[in-house]
Amino acid sequence: DFCLSMNANYRKGGLIGIAATAIGLHTTQEYLELLLPSVLQCFDDPESRVRYYACESLYNIAKVTRVAILAQFFHPIFEGLCKLYADPDVDVKNGATLFDRLMKDIVTESSPKTFSVNQFIPLLQIYIKRTNPYIRQLLVGWIIVLNSVPDISMIDYLPEFLDGLFNMLSDSNREIRQAADSALSEFLREVHLSSVVEFGPILSIL
């Protein structure tokens, strides 16, 4: 397996080969269990170019497989995305931003059967406690996007991440403060319009 080689160039070559294989196959979703683990492990590679190629490879795999990638691999992919979003290398960060947009597109076009909010919320609870500005930017973006999907009611899960949004209001980054404020304002509007909101858990946070 080239992705496990001690030579960084071999690892990069392996990732390029995996991406090319995914693009060339007509039934890539059937081989995700073989293709993805090697790519995901390269997110922790000490070489920034290897991490970049891992992000690029995963982007190409996701672009081909679309919703098929969600059911089995969303959890490790999102964890990897959080790592890449906070990467010290600018190119890796930019690659992660492009991949993030693709994943959001895939999730918004998926059905409740292929994307489970119940599986996403525990991840959100873990990472929303981080103070890294890039991770915060990523998370508030996901909260806003998911809340805009007609089949997803993020307000039902609001107590699970409300304190995290409140903490973002004091972030030193203006864009994060504005995004968090925008998300909270939208949830407040929905609370006013809804007649079935459980106020107990929300009030315990306030």
DSSP 70-107: HHHHHHHHHHHHHHHHT-SSHHHHHHHHHHHHHHHHHH
C-alpha 173/C-alpha 136 separation (Å) is: 10
Rounded average pLDDT over 7-27: 90
Query: 1-115: which CATH architecture?
Result: Alpha Horseshoe (1.25)
Is the pLDDT at 1 greater than 90? The verdict is: no
pLDDT at 169: 96
The CA–CA distances, whole Å, from 169 to 30, 82, 134, 202 equal 44, 20, 15, 17
Higher pLDDT: 112 or 87? It is 87
The CA–CA distances, whole Å, from 54 to 30, 31, 162 equal 20, 17, 33
Question: Smallest Cα–Cα separation from 153: which of 184, 104, 118?
Answer: 118
pLDDT at 204: 55
Is the pLDDT at 98 greater than 80? The verdict is: yes
Is the pLDDT at 199 greater than 70? The verdict is: no
C-alpha dihedral (105, 150, 86, 3), degrees to nearest 10: -40
Residues 85-97: tens digit of each pLDDT: 999 999 999 999 9
Question: Smallest Cα–Cα separation from 140: which of 176, 94, 189?
Answer: 176
Hunting for tokens 């903490």 — which residue is that?
A: 167
Can you give the pTM of this predicted structure? 0.90
Residues 36-79: tens digit of each pLDDT: 999 999 999 999 999 999 999 999 999 999 999 998 899 999 99
Rounded average pLDDT over 96-119: 92
Q: Where are the domains of the chain?
A: 1-115, 116-205
Is the pLDDT at 157 greater than 80? The verdict is: yes
pLDDT at 196: 62
C-alpha 90/C-alpha 86 separation (Å) is: 10
pLDDT at 205: 52
Rounded average pLDDT over 122-128: 96
C-alpha 157/C-alpha 168 separation (Å) is: 18
C-alpha 122/C-alpha 203 separation (Å) is: 21
Tell me how crowded residue 173 is: count the other CB atoms within 10 A of its CB: 13
C-alpha 142/C-alpha 37 separation (Å) is: 24
State the amino acid at position 194 in one-letter form: S
